[in-house]
Structure 1
Amino acid sequence: MLKTPPKTELELLQRAEQLAGYSFAELAEEVGIAVPQDLRRDKGWVGQLIEMHLGAQAGSRPEQDFAHLGIELKTIPLSYSGKPLESTFVCVAALTGIHGLTWQQSHVKQKLSKVLWVPVEGERELPIAERHVGFAKLWTPSEEEQTLLQQDWEELMEMIATGRIHEINARHGEVMQIRPKAANSRALTDAYGANGKKIKTLPRGFYLRSRFTHSILTQQDNL
């Protein structure tokens, strides 16, 4: 049975705590969905499974998963040593219509204002059905973290706004980077080139670096 949205932050945290230790097979059976053989074709399956148990309703809409509580949900696959196995997608990067956009107004700041991190086992040799959920952590960026995120966002958005999108690579951004985000190379979108004219390019997304998310998960109340 699908959960209704939690009414309070405390209720959401209690639901997340109750998931800790359960396998994906157990949680999938409870909500009546099948466990996929691999996640390459069902990349968002784990997130959807956790959303169903917690009562998230945003789906693919560009808002926080628990907008009425101001909380975003992020599942994060960990290695055996407890380190994130990949960078974490935040949101799609706007490539046009960004003149005058500030960090305070940005979708990234909204998404990261408060995050419920739900760690899950992610090692590839572990069968999906046998992977387990860990202990959730509610995180609000510190002043220092906010500053780092804002600096990266402003640097990357300036490159986009000045037509230097093709200069952006994996080295740009201390805690957050921009990477192509598309199902295939034919999924092109509009952007601006160095001469100010519109060009076609791959959609981009903001991603948190794994060393940054690892620092979040290991600060104060350790997992």
Structure 2
Amino acid sequence: MKPAPKSETELLNRALDISGISLRELADELSIAVPQDLRRDKGWVGQIIEKHLGAQAGSRPEQDFAELGIELKTIPVSHSGKPLETTFVSVAPLVGIHGLTWENSHVRHKLSKVLWIPVEGEREIPLAERRVGAPLLWTPSQREEDMLRADWEEIMEHIALGNVSAISARMGQVMQLRPKAANNRARTRAYGTSGRTIQALPRGFYLRTQFTAEILANHFI
């Protein structure tokens, strides 16, 4: 694993260096075996790219390149460059949210500056043969941040009112709330409609594919 990059330029140069490289080549450099598929190794692609770029956060709730204020997001794309799945942002707080605003939210912090790394994701391409695309360093425009804020505030209002179980994936224009757990038995504390805490499935914020597709299209087209 490489040491953390000391500057934004160094990080971008590392990302450009792996652009066009197959996942097998990246794994071989680190003496890591490539899994047959991602069914049991969903985070494998992101982890191997983290190692090559020198991301240090791991599972800690901070940006991947905290010293640079940059979050890393790998994104599987189709032959035409369209995202193939939603993008996880962060776990949603379901209790202890008094005084929480968009400005001091974990979601805004994570999305303040993102290094997007597209990776071929079509299922017919064997995992080892999938290639890494050109990087994109993105900061939300005012319009994009306004949309993210509106969705976050709507979702958090429902959480604060104890309506977490009524929040569906259809809510939100560019960002949605979905269960985020290893299985359906996982539980965490949340507010109920009475104001008392209840047990609920952990939830996470995800960016919709239409939103990430627009981000990629604005940069690459």
TM-score (norm 1): 0.98
State the alpha-carbon separation in 1 of the partners of residues 19 and 99 from structure 2: 43
Q: Which residue of 1 aligns with 2:207?
A: 208
Matched position secondary structure for 1:110? helix
Q: Which residue of 2 aligns with 1:197?
A: 196
Q: Which residue of 2 aligns with 1:156?
A: 155
Q: Which residue of 2 aligns with 1:44?
A: 43
Q: Which residue of 2 aligns with 1:222?
A: 220
State the alpha-carbon separation in 1 of the partners of residues 95 and 198 from structure 2: 11
Q: Which residue of 2 aligns with 1:86?
A: 85
| Deviation (angstroms), 1:198 | 1.4
State the alpha-carbon separation in 2 of the partners of residues 201 and 122 from structure 1: 32
Question: What value does the CA root-mean-square deviation take over the aligned residues?
Answer: 0.8
State the alpha-carbon separation in 2 of the partners of residues 68 and 100 from structure 1: 26
Q: Which residue of 1 aligns with 2:182?
A: 183
Corresponding letter in the other structure for 1:222: F
Written as runs of structure 1 = structure 2, the 5 A alignment for 1:63-142 is 63-142=62-141
Corresponding letter in the other structure for 1:155: E
| Deviation (angstroms), 1:40 | 1.1
State the alpha-carbon separation in 1 of the partners of residues 197 and 160 from structure 2: 12
| Deviation (angstroms), 1:6 | 0.5
> Once the two structures are superposed, what CA deviation does each residue of 1:166-191 show, in whole Å capped at 9, x if it has no partner?
11112111000000011111111110
Corresponding letter in the other structure for 2:4: P
> Once the two structures are superposed, what CA deviation does each residue of 1:12-71 show, in whole Å capped at 9, x if it has no partner?
000001111100000000011110111111111000010000000000000000000000
Matched position secondary structure for 1:212? helix
State the alpha-carbon separation in 2 of the partners of residues 20 and 198 from structure 1: 47
Matched position secondary structure for 2:73? strand
State the alpha-carbon separation in 1 of the partners of residues 217 and 18 from structure 2: 20
Corresponding letter in the other structure for 1:90: V
| Deviation (angstroms), 1:193 | 1.1
Q: How many residue pairs get matched? A: 221
Unaligned runs of 5+ in 1: none
State the alpha-carbon separation in 2 of the partners of residues 166 and 188 from structure 1: 13
TM-score (norm 2): 0.98
Q: Which residue of 2 aligns with 1:16?
A: 15
